[in-house]
Structure 1
Amino acid sequence: MALALEDRLAIGELIALHGHLVDGGELHRTAEVFTPDVVYDLSDFGQGQVTGLAAFTEAALALGAANPVAHHVTNVVMEEADDGRVRARSKGLGVMADGSCGSVTYEDTVVRAADGWRICHRRVLARRVPLNGLGQD
């Protein structure tokens, strides 16, 4: 069964909401984006995984000024899995206070909860080399 247009729109908005909440310092609202037991995987940045909303908030606060001042998300693609979950990939751009930028890929697993779609697992991958290293010696 194909993912309904209404679900695609809701999931796209869910993924976009993350940046608005974090950039606005509204970490108390992350339950609008993530499940209570979310696994947020920052292993590609050497920070391991955090599990749960409280741990996510604690990790964001611990970074302090090292957090981007702006999170932008684009190029969202979705695929429904056989178990009703949705696999979403998107590109993220982070703008730092000094004006420098970085790019990541978000790999999300999204589930339908009682109060709407929520991300239950997010893996953040840094973009460090063009073409994922293809053609590099």
Structure 2
Amino acid sequence: MAFTADDRTEITELLSMHGHLCDRGELDRLEELFTPDVVYDVSDFGQEPLLGVAACAAAARALGELNPVGHHVTNTVLTEAPGGRVHALSKGLGVNADGTVGSVTYEDTVVRTPGGWRISHRKIRAHRAPLGGRA
């Protein structure tokens, strides 16, 4: 199946919608972003990967006031992958209530479902040192 410009637009908007839903606290709408069996890998933050949409929503609720007030996605690069999947590489900025900012990379696998494109796997890599260094 050919990967079209419309697919690129839909996937980019899907990735952007994550921040809007989270920042508004609309965690009951995460199924609009993720497959039901999504693997949300936050191991770079010392946690076990989250399995499923309900686990993602529960983890965000458990963070409470520690959640960023603003999730921003930028620098998205989409690449076709085998099996009709798409690999999405994006930069993420999280703005906290105290004004501090964190930087991450999102590595997503996106799949076409009957409801549209959805993220089936997300790995979040934190940036803690410049030039790709690990602090």
Decide: shared fold, TM above 0.5.
yes
Stretches of 4+ moved more than 3 A in 1?
Answer: none
Q: Are the counterparts in 2 of residues 2 and 80 from structure 1 also a CA contact under 8 Å?
A: no
Within 5 A, what are the aligned runs for 1:9-48?
Answer: 9-48=9-48
Name the counterpart of 1:62.
62
In 1, the alpha carbon distance for the partners of 2:3 and 2:76 equals: 14
One-letter amino acid of the counterpart of residue 116, structure 1: G
- 1:77-107 CA-to-partner distances (Å, cap 9, x unmatched) read 0100121100000000000000000000000
- 1:47-77 CA-to-partner distances (Å, cap 9, x unmatched) read 1201011111111111111110000000000
Name the counterpart of 2:50.
50
Question: TM-score, normalising length from structure 2?
Answer: 0.96
Identity, % of aligned positions: 62
In 2, the alpha carbon distance for the partners of 1:28 and 1:3 equals: 30
One-letter amino acid of the counterpart of residue 54, structure 1: A
1:131 Cα deviation after fit: 1.0
| 2:83 counterpart SS class | coil
1:3 Cα deviation after fit: 2.1
The count of aligned residue pairs is 135
Q: Are the counterparts in 2 of residues 30 and 53 from structure 1 also a CA contact under 8 Å?
A: yes
In 2, the alpha carbon distance for the partners of 1:86 and 1:125 equals: 19
In 2, the alpha carbon distance for the partners of 1:77 and 1:2 equals: 17
Question: TM-score, normalising length from structure 1?
Answer: 0.95
Q: Are the counterparts in 2 of residues 16 and 73 from structure 1 also a CA contact under 8 Å?
A: yes
One-letter amino acid of the counterpart of residue 46, structure 1: G
One-letter amino acid of the counterpart of residue 126, structure 1: A
| 1:29 counterpart SS class | helix
In structure 2, stretches of 5+ residues that fail to align are none
In structure 1, stretches of 5+ residues that fail to align are none
One-letter amino acid of the counterpart of residue 64, structure 1: G
Within 5 A, what are the aligned runs for 1:88-107?
Answer: 88-107=88-107
| 2:90 counterpart SS class | strand
Q: CA RMSD in A?
A: 1.5
- 1:98-132 CA-to-partner distances (Å, cap 9, x unmatched) read 00000000000000000100000000000111111
One-letter amino acid of the counterpart of residue 75, structure 2: N
Name the counterpart of 1:3.
3
